[in-house]
Amino acid sequence: MSVQAIIDQIKTYHPKADISLVERAYKLAAKAHNGQKRLSGEDYISHPVEVAKTLAELKSDIPTICAGLLHDVPEDTNIPLSYIKKNFGNEIAFLVNGVSKLGKIKYRGEKRYIENLRKLFLSMCYDIRVVLVKLADRLHNMKTLSYLPKDKQYRIALETLEIYAPIADRLGIGTIKGHLEDLAFPYVYPKEYKRLINNVKEKYEDRENYINFIIPKIKQYLESEKVKILDIHGRAKHYFSLYKKLEKYEMNWDKIYDLIAIRIIVNDIPDCYKTLGLIHKNWKPLLGRIKDYIALPKPNGYRSLHTTVFCINGKITEFQIRTPQMHKEAEYGIAAHWAYTEAGKLSKDAYRNNNQLPWIKQLQKWQKEIKNSREFIKYLKIDFFKDRIFVFTPKGDVIDLPEEATPIDFAYHIHTDIGHKCAGAKVDGKLCSLSQSLKNGQVVEIITKKEKKPNPDWLRFAKTNYAKNRIKNWLRKNKN
């Protein structure tokens, strides 16, 4: 396997980077893994090379790409971490060690597995790059999953859907999230996957023909209105994402309007809104299907305008409108913000800023508060990795919650004392039940009273483990 493809990719985004370090890392990895084979029969070096390629596609810095090439060396060969530290420096050794510590977490018993998962999230708090190497590692392992025994295939694919794809989503890396989900889908839900594939082919072809027919007409219309179109193309929905949406609509294909959406890239934010206005001027929008993720970005930083209209020949069509920077952020997430110095290093603020994402701050807080690792992972699966909604405080602050969260979850998310003293809630200015499920975009106000205390009944409808834990702790301390 050649290192040249990795070098070529690096040069596209950082031409002044120190490539010699990457070449040295490749040579050491090739020597260390010499004679080792993957279960697919390929030389083992193919794996670290693919990992490093993915990291280069994410525009990672040189130490991260070197760590991708060397990540299995201390674990699977006779070359120790001390050798990497001596020859490649502290930073690369730190990243390699961070990935090695996570180990082959699925093969060492449940207790060890849960401990290692916790380490994964702890490393996310300290240096995002360790997790990026792990995501790239998982992506290539998923591509070769068919060579593993059946029981391992299911377990690894399920873990990918439950843990790794949501991490990629939380980091805003749409391209890796979609690939991981689609690779895991046939192993976790084989019957549903076959059914979807059998049904989708013809629908995709019809939709693609229609999109190819209307794109030139839409481009011509917008340019005649003095909008400069940098790019316009159709974007097919990922299979797993499509399956989840069909599930939501009771497998009704007629409710899926974004099987293939039209993505329009324009110069700047004013042009985004101008384009939206022109589309609505020409074609009637569907009520409730206009989403402004520019004014109100998703919690993972995603920005774009979405609208669904009755387009040419009355066909319902979704549009996504964004700038080149927004598109970059949607594909590469946090990596889209990384800036490089002349020396080929990421600027000092790169990780500091990324590690200040609100949910990473919450992770840091939870790492300290929740000592039991099994409970910690349970929290993550519900409170962090479920499908998200975002609602607002009366002052306009965005609060990020799992789907089906209630005003009680909202109250405890704001502050433990607000939760404890919650006497009622208003949603969009109207009084509502504390058990009511919140919906995207609602404004939530919590009514508190000094004498109010947590009610055991709240445990029946609180959805987040965080809220449940706070209620249980209070009830335990105040038994009498």
76 is catalytic: yes
Q: How far apart are CA 456 and CA 468, in angstroms?
A: 10
As beta bridge partners, residue 319 has 262, 307
The residue from 23, 42, 76, 445 that is catalytic is 76
Query: And the tokens for 122?
Result: 């702890």
Give the pLDDT confidence score for residue 182 in this predicted structure. 92
**41 exposure class (CB count in 10 Å sphere: 0-12, 13-18, 19+):** exposed
75 is catalytic: yes
3 state DSSP class of 323: coil
Domains along the sequence of the chain with CATH:
4-188 (1.10.3210.10), 190-322 (3.30.460.10), 386-477 (3.10.20.30)
pTM of the predicted structure, to 2 decimals: 0.74
Give the pLDDT confidence score for residue 381 in this predicted structure. 63
DSSP assignment of 398-424 equals EEEEETT--HHHHHHHH-HHHHHTEEE
**445 exposure class (CB count in 10 Å sphere: 0-12, 13-18, 19+):** middle
3 state DSSP class of 429: coil
pLDDT per residue as tens, the chain (480 positions): 578 888 888 888 888 888 899 999 999 998 989 888 888 888 889 999 999 999 998 888 888 999 999 988 888 888 888 899 999 988 888 888 878 766 544 434 455 556 666 666 666 656 778 888 989 999 999 999 998 888 889 988 988 888 888 888 878 888 899 999 999 999 999 999 998 888 887 677 888 888 889 999 999 999 999 999 999 998 877 888 888 887 877 777 777 777 778 999 999 999 999 999 999 999 999 888 888 989 888 777 789 999 989 988 888 889 999 999 999 888 887 766 665 544 555 554 454 444 455 666 666 666 667 667 667 666 666 556 656 777 888 887 778 788 889 999 999 988 899 999 999 999 988 999 999 999 877 889 999 998 889 999 999 999 888 898 889 989 888 876
The residue from 42, 75, 162, 192 that is catalytic is 75
Q: How far apart are CA 26 and CA 1, in angstroms?
A: 10
Cβ contact 338:321 at 8 Å? no
Q: How far apart are CA 145 and CA 315, in angstroms?
A: 39
Give the pLDDT confidence score for residue 359 in this predicted structure. 63
Cβ contact 212:234 at 8 Å? yes
Query: And the tokens for 349?
Result: 């603020």
How far is CA 391 from its chain centroid? 19
Which of 51, 62, 70 lies closest to 136, judged by CA? Answer: 51
Helices and strands of the chain, counted as H and E runs: 23, 10
Q: How far apart are CA 208 and CA 261, in angstroms?
A: 10
